[in-house]
Amino acid sequence: MSSLEIKDLHASVVTDEGAKEILKGVDLTINSGEIHAIMGPNGSGKSTLSYAIAGHPKYQVTSGEVLLDGENVLDMTVDERGRAGLFLAMQYPVEVPGVSMSNFLRTAATSVRGEAPKLRHWVKEVKDEMSKLDISADFAERSVNEGFSGGEKKRHEILQLGLLKPKMAILDETDSGLDVDALRVVSKGVNDFKASNDAGIMLITHYSRILKHVQPDFVHVFSEGRIVESGGPELADALEESGYVRFTGGKQEEAAAR
Protein backbone atom coordinates (compact mmCIF):
# COMPACT_ATOMS: atom_id res chain seq x y z
CA MET A 1 0.00 0.00 0.00
CA SER A 2 1.54 3.27 -1.19
CA SER A 3 0.48 6.86 -1.22
CA LEU A 4 1.51 10.04 -2.96
CA GLU A 5 0.53 13.12 -1.01
CA ILE A 6 0.73 16.54 -2.60
CA LYS A 7 0.16 19.29 -0.06
CA ASP A 8 -0.37 22.95 -0.91
CA LEU A 9 2.24 22.76 -3.67
CA HIS A 10 3.45 26.02 -5.17
CA ALA A 11 5.94 26.01 -8.02
CA SER A 12 7.44 28.46 -10.46
CA VAL A 13 9.00 28.05 -13.84
CA VAL A 14 12.48 29.47 -14.23
CA THR A 15 12.68 31.56 -17.39
CA ASP A 16 15.13 34.09 -18.75
CA GLU A 17 12.87 36.85 -17.47
CA GLY A 18 12.82 35.39 -13.97
CA ALA A 19 10.55 33.06 -12.04
CA LYS A 20 6.87 32.86 -12.83
CA GLU A 21 4.48 31.12 -10.46
CA ILE A 22 2.46 28.40 -12.16
CA LEU A 23 1.28 26.07 -9.40
CA LYS A 24 -0.74 27.91 -6.81
CA GLY A 25 -1.54 25.45 -4.07
CA VAL A 26 -2.17 21.93 -5.33
CA ASP A 27 -3.65 19.43 -2.86
CA LEU A 28 -4.07 15.81 -3.90
CA THR A 29 -3.56 12.37 -2.39
CA ILE A 30 -3.27 9.28 -4.55
CA ASN A 31 -3.31 5.81 -2.99
CA SER A 32 -2.20 2.64 -4.68
CA GLY A 33 -4.93 1.07 -6.74
CA GLU A 34 -6.47 4.44 -7.51
CA ILE A 35 -6.65 6.25 -10.80
CA HIS A 36 -7.01 10.01 -10.64
CA ALA A 37 -7.80 11.79 -13.87
CA ILE A 38 -6.71 15.41 -14.10
CA MET A 39 -8.40 17.51 -16.74
CA GLY A 40 -7.89 21.16 -17.42
CA PRO A 41 -7.39 23.73 -20.14
CA ASN A 42 -4.13 24.35 -21.98
CA GLY A 43 -1.61 26.21 -19.92
CA SER A 44 -3.34 25.57 -16.61
CA GLY A 45 -0.20 23.92 -15.22
CA LYS A 46 -0.80 20.17 -15.53
CA SER A 47 2.59 19.41 -17.03
CA THR A 48 4.21 21.75 -14.55
CA LEU A 49 2.67 19.68 -11.75
CA SER A 50 4.09 16.48 -13.19
CA TYR A 51 7.53 18.01 -13.79
CA ALA A 52 7.64 19.51 -10.31
CA ILE A 53 6.91 16.10 -8.80
CA ALA A 54 9.55 14.44 -10.97
CA GLY A 55 12.11 17.15 -10.17
CA HIS A 56 12.75 18.84 -13.50
CA PRO A 57 15.45 21.51 -12.97
CA LYS A 58 13.41 24.21 -14.72
CA TYR A 59 10.66 24.10 -12.13
CA GLN A 60 11.21 25.38 -8.65
CA VAL A 61 8.99 24.36 -5.78
CA THR A 62 8.51 27.45 -3.62
CA SER A 63 6.34 25.92 -0.92
CA GLY A 64 4.35 22.83 -0.06
CA GLU A 65 5.19 19.15 0.16
CA VAL A 66 5.22 16.02 -1.91
CA LEU A 67 5.42 12.78 0.06
CA LEU A 68 5.77 9.27 -1.29
CA ASP A 69 4.89 6.82 1.49
CA GLY A 70 5.63 9.61 3.92
CA GLU A 71 9.09 10.33 2.48
CA ASN A 72 9.80 13.84 1.27
CA VAL A 73 10.21 13.54 -2.48
CA LEU A 74 11.33 17.15 -2.88
CA ASP A 75 14.57 16.39 -1.02
CA MET A 76 15.47 13.70 -3.52
CA THR A 77 17.44 14.04 -6.76
CA VAL A 78 15.62 13.24 -9.98
CA ASP A 79 17.07 9.74 -10.15
CA GLU A 80 16.36 9.06 -6.48
CA ARG A 81 12.72 9.84 -7.17
CA GLY A 82 12.78 7.37 -10.04
CA ARG A 83 14.28 4.69 -7.84
CA ALA A 84 11.86 5.49 -5.01
CA GLY A 85 9.02 4.44 -7.29
CA LEU A 86 7.88 7.54 -9.14
CA PHE A 87 7.43 7.47 -12.88
CA LEU A 88 6.52 10.21 -15.32
CA ALA A 89 5.30 9.37 -18.79
CA MET A 90 6.06 12.63 -20.51
CA GLN A 91 3.85 14.64 -22.77
CA TYR A 92 6.86 15.14 -25.04
CA PRO A 93 9.36 12.31 -24.49
CA VAL A 94 12.96 13.38 -25.08
CA GLU A 95 15.18 12.10 -27.88
CA VAL A 96 18.59 10.80 -26.83
CA PRO A 97 20.69 10.32 -29.99
CA GLY A 98 23.12 7.44 -30.10
CA VAL A 99 21.72 5.63 -27.06
CA SER A 100 19.85 2.51 -28.11
CA MET A 101 16.45 1.81 -26.64
CA SER A 102 17.62 -1.60 -25.42
CA ASN A 103 20.66 -0.16 -23.66
CA PHE A 104 18.52 2.55 -22.11
CA LEU A 105 15.84 0.15 -20.88
CA ARG A 106 18.35 -2.21 -19.37
CA THR A 107 20.25 0.60 -17.66
CA ALA A 108 17.01 2.00 -16.27
CA ALA A 109 15.77 -1.40 -15.06
CA THR A 110 19.13 -2.09 -13.44
CA SER A 111 18.96 1.26 -11.64
CA VAL A 112 15.40 0.87 -10.44
CA ARG A 113 15.71 -2.78 -9.43
CA GLY A 114 19.08 -2.35 -7.76
CA GLU A 115 20.66 -5.15 -9.79
CA ALA A 116 21.04 -6.06 -13.41
CA PRO A 117 18.17 -8.29 -14.53
CA LYS A 118 19.30 -11.75 -15.62
CA LEU A 119 19.95 -11.43 -19.31
CA ARG A 120 17.83 -14.34 -20.47
CA HIS A 121 14.78 -13.36 -18.45
CA TRP A 122 15.26 -9.75 -19.41
CA VAL A 123 15.28 -10.39 -23.15
CA LYS A 124 12.03 -12.29 -22.85
CA GLU A 125 10.48 -9.72 -20.54
CA VAL A 126 11.22 -6.88 -22.96
CA LYS A 127 10.04 -8.90 -25.92
CA ASP A 128 6.75 -9.71 -24.23
CA GLU A 129 6.10 -6.14 -23.17
CA MET A 130 6.95 -4.87 -26.62
CA SER A 131 4.63 -7.28 -28.35
CA LYS A 132 1.80 -6.43 -25.94
CA LEU A 133 2.16 -2.83 -27.06
CA ASP A 134 2.48 -3.76 -30.73
CA ILE A 135 6.00 -2.37 -30.89
CA SER A 136 8.10 -4.04 -33.55
CA ALA A 137 11.36 -5.63 -32.43
CA ASP A 138 13.63 -3.35 -34.46
CA PHE A 139 12.85 -0.43 -32.18
CA ALA A 140 15.19 -1.99 -29.63
CA GLU A 141 18.22 -0.98 -31.67
CA ARG A 142 17.04 2.52 -32.49
CA SER A 143 18.12 5.56 -30.53
CA VAL A 144 15.83 6.51 -27.66
CA ASN A 145 12.79 8.28 -29.13
CA GLU A 146 14.83 9.57 -32.07
CA GLY A 147 12.66 9.91 -35.13
CA PHE A 148 9.78 8.12 -33.41
CA SER A 149 6.32 9.33 -34.34
CA GLY A 150 4.24 10.92 -31.58
CA GLY A 151 2.30 7.68 -31.10
CA GLU A 152 5.46 5.55 -31.05
CA LYS A 153 6.95 7.74 -28.36
CA LYS A 154 3.84 7.31 -26.21
CA ARG A 155 3.91 3.54 -26.60
CA HIS A 156 7.51 3.52 -25.47
CA GLU A 157 6.63 5.51 -22.38
CA ILE A 158 4.13 2.82 -21.48
CA LEU A 159 6.70 0.15 -22.30
CA GLN A 160 8.94 1.72 -19.68
CA LEU A 161 6.04 1.84 -17.26
CA GLY A 162 5.53 -1.90 -17.66
CA LEU A 163 9.22 -2.68 -17.21
CA LEU A 164 10.08 -0.28 -14.39
CA LYS A 165 6.94 -1.01 -12.37
CA PRO A 166 6.75 2.17 -10.29
CA LYS A 167 4.54 2.64 -7.25
CA MET A 168 3.09 5.85 -8.61
CA ALA A 169 2.81 6.77 -12.25
CA ILE A 170 2.02 10.16 -13.71
CA LEU A 171 0.84 9.91 -17.30
CA ASP A 172 0.93 13.31 -18.94
CA GLU A 173 -1.35 13.25 -21.99
CA THR A 174 -0.26 9.77 -22.92
CA ASP A 175 -3.45 9.55 -24.98
CA SER A 176 -2.74 12.60 -27.16
CA GLY A 177 -1.75 11.78 -30.69
CA LEU A 178 -2.86 8.17 -30.53
CA ASP A 179 -5.17 6.73 -33.15
CA VAL A 180 -8.05 4.50 -32.07
CA ASP A 181 -6.10 1.25 -32.24
CA ALA A 182 -3.08 2.67 -30.48
CA LEU A 183 -5.32 4.11 -27.79
CA ARG A 184 -6.73 0.66 -27.13
CA VAL A 185 -3.29 -0.94 -26.97
CA VAL A 186 -1.87 1.76 -24.72
CA SER A 187 -4.92 1.71 -22.43
CA LYS A 188 -4.53 -2.02 -22.06
CA GLY A 189 -0.89 -1.48 -21.16
CA VAL A 190 -1.90 0.95 -18.43
CA ASN A 191 -4.61 -1.35 -17.08
CA ASP A 192 -2.28 -4.38 -17.05
CA PHE A 193 0.34 -2.36 -15.26
CA LYS A 194 -2.13 -1.25 -12.62
CA ALA A 195 -3.63 -4.69 -12.14
CA SER A 196 -0.30 -6.44 -11.63
CA ASN A 197 1.40 -3.77 -9.54
CA ASP A 198 -1.36 -2.28 -7.44
CA ALA A 199 0.03 1.11 -8.35
CA GLY A 200 -1.49 4.55 -8.16
CA ILE A 201 -1.95 6.56 -11.34
CA MET A 202 -2.34 10.24 -12.11
CA LEU A 203 -3.74 10.45 -15.60
CA ILE A 204 -3.56 13.88 -17.20
CA THR A 205 -5.79 14.23 -20.23
CA HIS A 206 -7.90 16.61 -22.26
CA TYR A 207 -10.29 14.01 -23.54
CA SER A 208 -12.72 11.65 -21.92
CA ARG A 209 -12.14 9.02 -24.65
CA ILE A 210 -9.23 7.38 -22.78
CA LEU A 211 -11.38 7.29 -19.65
CA LYS A 212 -13.69 4.84 -21.43
CA HIS A 213 -10.75 2.41 -21.50
CA VAL A 214 -8.97 3.36 -18.30
CA GLN A 215 -11.63 3.83 -15.64
CA PRO A 216 -10.79 6.64 -13.24
CA ASP A 217 -11.82 6.50 -9.62
CA PHE A 218 -11.61 10.26 -9.29
CA VAL A 219 -11.71 13.16 -11.72
CA HIS A 220 -10.22 16.55 -10.89
CA VAL A 221 -10.57 19.79 -12.76
CA PHE A 222 -7.34 21.75 -12.93
CA SER A 223 -7.38 25.45 -13.58
CA GLU A 224 -4.87 28.23 -13.11
CA GLY A 225 -2.46 26.13 -11.10
CA ARG A 226 -4.90 24.43 -8.74
CA ILE A 227 -7.52 21.75 -8.49
CA VAL A 228 -10.82 23.60 -8.55
CA GLU A 229 -13.28 20.71 -8.53
CA SER A 230 -13.15 17.00 -7.74
CA GLY A 231 -15.65 14.23 -8.31
CA GLY A 232 -16.19 10.74 -9.68
CA PRO A 233 -16.15 9.52 -13.28
CA GLU A 234 -19.38 11.40 -13.95
CA LEU A 235 -17.43 14.66 -13.74
CA ALA A 236 -15.54 13.71 -16.89
CA ASP A 237 -18.81 13.33 -18.76
CA ALA A 238 -20.01 16.69 -17.48
CA LEU A 239 -16.76 18.26 -18.70
CA GLU A 240 -17.18 16.67 -22.09
CA GLU A 241 -20.71 18.09 -22.27
CA SER A 242 -20.20 21.61 -21.09
CA GLY A 243 -16.46 22.24 -21.13
CA TYR A 244 -14.28 23.75 -18.45
CA VAL A 245 -16.01 27.08 -18.59
CA ARG A 246 -18.05 26.80 -15.44
CA PHE A 247 -14.92 26.00 -13.41
CA THR A 248 -12.65 28.59 -14.90
CA GLY A 249 -14.85 31.63 -14.67
CA GLY A 250 -15.18 31.88 -18.45
CA LYS A 251 -11.56 32.91 -18.99
CA GLN A 252 -10.61 29.77 -20.78
CA GLU A 253 -13.65 29.39 -22.97
CA GLU A 254 -11.58 28.95 -26.06
CA ALA A 255 -9.50 26.16 -24.61
CA ALA A 256 -12.58 24.50 -23.20
CA ALA A 257 -14.26 24.40 -26.57
CA ARG A 258 -11.67 22.01 -28.03
Partner 1 sequence: MTVTENTVPAGSADHNTVAEAAEATVPAVSKGERFTSYDVRAFEVPGGREENWRFTPMKRLRGLHDGSAVANGEVKVDADVASELRVETVGREDGRLGVAGVPSDRIAAQAYSSFSTATVLTVPKETKASAPSVIRLTGPGEGNTAYGHLQVRLEQFAEAVVVLDHQGSGTYADNVEFVIGDSAKLTVVSVQDWADDAVHVSEQHLKLGRDATLKHTLVTLGGDLVRISPTATFADKGGDVELLGLYFSDAGQHQEHRLFVDHAVPNCKSNVVYKGALQGDGAHSVWIGDVLIRAAAEATDTFELNRNLVLTEGARADSVPNLEIETGEIEGAGHASATGRFDDEQLFYLQSRGIVEEQARRLVVRGFFHEILMKIDVPEVRERLEAAIEAELEAVGA
* Residue 43 binds to ligand ATP (criterion: CB under 6 A): yes
* Residue 42 binds to ligand ATP (criterion: CB under 6 A): yes
* Residue 252 binds to ligand ATP (criterion: CB under 6 A): no
For the chain, strand residue ranges (E) read: 3-15, 18-31, 35-39, 59-68, 71-72, 86-89, 96-100, 143-144, 168-172, 200-204, 218-223, 226-231
Of the candidates 205, 181, 203, the one whose C-alpha atom is nearest the C-alpha of residue 190 is 203
Nearer to partner 1 by Cβ, of 53 and 219: the residue is 53
* Residues 6+ positions from 245 with CB-CB distance below 8 Å: 252, 253, 256
Candidate ranges 20-28, 97-105, 124-132, 238-246; the one touching partner 1 (CB under 8 A): 97-105
* Residue 47 binds to ligand ATP (criterion: CB under 6 A): yes
Instruction: Look up residue 188 and give its amino acid.
Output: K
* Residue 189 binds to partner 1 (criterion: CB under 8 A): no
* Residue 13 binds to ligand ATP (criterion: CB under 6 A): yes
Nearer to ligand ATP by Cβ, of 16 and 115: the residue is 16
Of the candidates 165, 235, 158, 157, the one whose C-alpha atom is nearest the C-alpha of residue 200 is 165
The one of Mg ion, partner 1, ligand ATP, none whose footprint includes residue 13, by CB under 5 to 8 A per kind, is ligand ATP
Torsion of CA 22, 56, 78, 200, to 10 degrees: 50
Enumerate binding residues for Mg ion (CB under 5 A). 46-47, 91
The CB-of-7 to ligand ATP minimum distance in angstroms stands at: 19
Q: How far is CA 147 from CA 49, 141, 159, in A?
A: 27, 13, 17
Instruction: Look up residue 118 and give its amino acid.
Output: K
User: What residue spans of 136-229 are helical by DSSP H?
Assistant: 150-164, 180-197
* Residue 197 binds to ligand ATP (criterion: CB under 6 A): no
Instruction: Look up residue 32 and give its amino acid.
Output: S
Nearer to partner 1 by Cβ, of 27 and 146: the residue is 146
* Residue 106 binds to partner 1 (criterion: CB under 8 A): no
* Residue 208 binds to ligand ATP (criterion: CB under 6 A): no
Binding site residues, partner 1, CB under 8 A: 54-58, 77-79, 81-83, 87-88, 90, 93-99, 103-104, 107-108, 111-112, 143-144, 160, 164
